[in-house]
Amino acid sequence: MAESKTKAQARCPECDSWVTLKDGVKLWELVVCPTCDTELEVIGLAPFTLDYAEGDYYDEDEDYDDEDEDYDDEDYEEDEGF
């Protein structure tokens, strides 16, 4: 009788599809979701867990302007008098 071998799988955090992982997958290895083409990395082996690959995920609704971090309300109020 043939031995039944179960493939390792983990959920894609983007589309919630199952991603089949190759035998011997290693921690931090990069994989691509076959459903949504998101680049992911293996962040856990027991259980198998995937997360967005570093630098791949970009939220279009988020404002990533670095200049906003230096904004100070007090400075703005002082400059209003022009």
- DSSP-derived pairing of the beta strands 18-21 and 30-32: unpaired
pLDDT of residue 2: 55
pLDDT (tens place) for every residue of the chain, 82 residues total: 555 567 899 999 999 999 999 999 999 999 999 999 999 999 999 999 999 998 645 555 555 555 555 555 555 555 555 5
| 17 in Cβ contact with 33 (< 8 Å) | yes
Which residue reads 């992982």 in tokens? 21
Confidence (pLDDT) at 71? 52
The domains of the chain, with CATH numbers, are 8-79 (2.20.28.160)
Per-residue pLDDT at 32: 97
pLDDT of residue 33: 98
For the CA atoms of the chain, what is the radius of gyration? 22
Looking at the chain, how many residues does it have?
82
Q: Is there a contact between 45 and 59 (Cβ–Cβ < 8 Å)?
A: no
**How many CB atoms are located within 10 Å of the residue 10 CB?**
22
Full-model pTM: 0.60
